[in-house]
Amino acid sequence: MTWAQPFKVAGYTTAEPQHVMPAVAVTQNGNRLLVSYFVQQINERVRTDIASIHVDGNHLRLEGLERLSSTDFDLIPSNNPFPEPGNPFLTLNYDLTFGPCRDLGEYQSIGVSRQPGDDSGPIVAAWGDNRRTWTSPSDSTAPGTHAQADVFSSRLDGEDQLAGGN
């Protein structure tokens, strides 16, 4: 069952072809929906954005978009060829505890404060971000300097920061 018609928060553009892995929160009185998500840009770098959507019964209206991260970042090397006898197509993530082609995953989250009768309280968002770098040992499966996955967060105070945003 649904409570509203499908609603596109962020669509494909030439400059921003992909929007993925959303996190969703609803304000206490239910009249505002917040969606944070990753944006992959045409240069293949990634950033995080947040959308504010006004909820009026079963009608939705985009109020604003805002960037969460202060910078965009590269994905980590997660599809490294590592052929071995019997499996010439084997690939590995540089972090061997994860399978290949994984990077962003479960690190997108968002929450809204619970101040009785007031939806203008702080919004807190967290996301995985690879803006920092690290250098792996020369004998690793992915030698060199790479993006380092860390978790970042931001507090957005009140509705004004997301209404009619950029």
- Is 44 inside a domain boundary? yes
Q: How many domains does the chain have?
A: 1
Give yes or no for a contact between 122 and 155, defined as CB atoms under 8 angstroms apart: yes
Return the residue matching tokens 């020369």.
138
- Is 43 inside a domain boundary? yes
pLDDT at 163: 43
Q: How high is the mean pLDDT in each 10-residue block of the chain (166 residues)? A: 82 92 86 91 92 90 90 74 69 60 72 66 84 85 77 74 42
pLDDT at 123: 85
- Is 129 inside a domain boundary? yes
pLDDT at 78: 63
Handedness of CA 110, 17, 1, 163 (dihedral sign): positive
- pTM attached to this predicted model: 0.76
Residue 85: domain span:
18-161
pLDDT at 34: 92
Closest by alpha carbon to 102, among 131, 77, 137, 135?
Answer: 77
- Is 8 inside a domain boundary? no
